Structure 1
Amino acid sequence: MCNRYEQAATEAARRALRVLEIEMFNSAGSIIHPQGQGEIVRMIDGKRTISQMTWGFPLIMAAVRKRANEQGKHPRPKPVNNARTDKLSSPFWRRWTGPEYRCIIPVKRYAEAYGPKGSMKEAWVSIPDQQLMAVAGLLRPSNEWGNCYTMVMTDAAGDAAKAHSRMPVILAQDNVEAWLNEPMEHAAHLCRPWTGSVEIDWTNHLWAG
Structure 2
Amino acid sequence: MCNRYRNDKAIATLFEDFSQVELFADDGHSRGRNEPFLTEFFPSYAAPIITRDPEAGLRLEEALWGMPTPPQFLKTKTGKPMSYDPGVTNVRNTNSPHWRRWLGVEHRCLVPFTSFSEPDAAHKLHWFDFVGDAPPVACFAGITDTLSRQIKARDPEPTSGRFYAFLTTEPNAVVGPVHAKAMPVILTTPEDCRIWLSAPWEIAKALQRPLPDQILRLMSEA
TM bracket (short chain): 0.7 to 0.9
Contact kept, 8 Å, 1:157 with 1:194, in 2: the verdict is yes
SS at match of 1:78: coil
Amino acid at match of 1:143: S
TM-score norm. by structure 2 comes to 0.78
What is the Cα deviation at residue 27 of structure 1?
A: 4.3
Counterpart secondary structure, 1:58? coil
Which moved further from structure 2: 172-181 or 158-167?
A: 158-167
* Unmatched runs of 5 consecutive residues or more in structure 1: 69-74
Instruction: Judge conservation of contact 2:140–2:167 (CA < 8 Å) in 1.
Output: yes
Higher helix share: 1
Q: Does 1:34 align with 2:51?
A: no
Deviation at 1:21, TM superposition (A): 3.1
Q: CA deviation at 1:62?
A: 5.0
**Cα offset for 1:172?**
3.1
Most deviating of 182-191 and 122-131: 122-131
| 1:1-209 to 2 correspondences below 5 Å | 1-9=1-9, 10-18=11-19, 19-21=23-25, 23-24=30-31, 27-44=36-53, 45-59=55-69, 61-63=73-75, 67=81, 75-84=83-92, 87-114=93-120, 116=122, 120-128=123-131, 129-130=133-134, 133-144=138-149, 145=159, 146-165=161-180, 166-173=182-189, 174-195=191-212, 196-203=214-221, 205=222
2:174–2:216 contact (8 Å) kept in structure 1: yes
Q: Residue 126 of structure 1 aligns to a residue in which SS?
A: strand
Aligned AA for 2:183? Answer: M
Aligned-partner residue type, residue 14 of structure 2: A
SS in 1 for 2:87: strand
| One-letter amino acid of the structure 2 residue matched with residue 160 of structure 1 | V
For the structure 1 residues 92 and 21, does the alpha-carbon distance in structure 2 shift closer, same or farther, using more than 3 Å as the test? same
1:39–1:50 contact (8 Å) kept in structure 2: yes
Stretch of structure 1 that moved more, 180-189 or 167-176: 167-176
Kindly provide the amino acid, as one letter, of the partner of residue 147 in structure 2.
Answer: S
The structure with more strand, counted as a fraction of residues? 1
Question: Deviation of residue 102 (structure 1)?
Answer: 0.3
Q: Aligned partner of 2:188: which letter?
A: A
Identity %, equivalent residues: 25
Secondary structure of the structure 2 residue equivalent to 1:42: strand
Count of matched residue pairs: 193
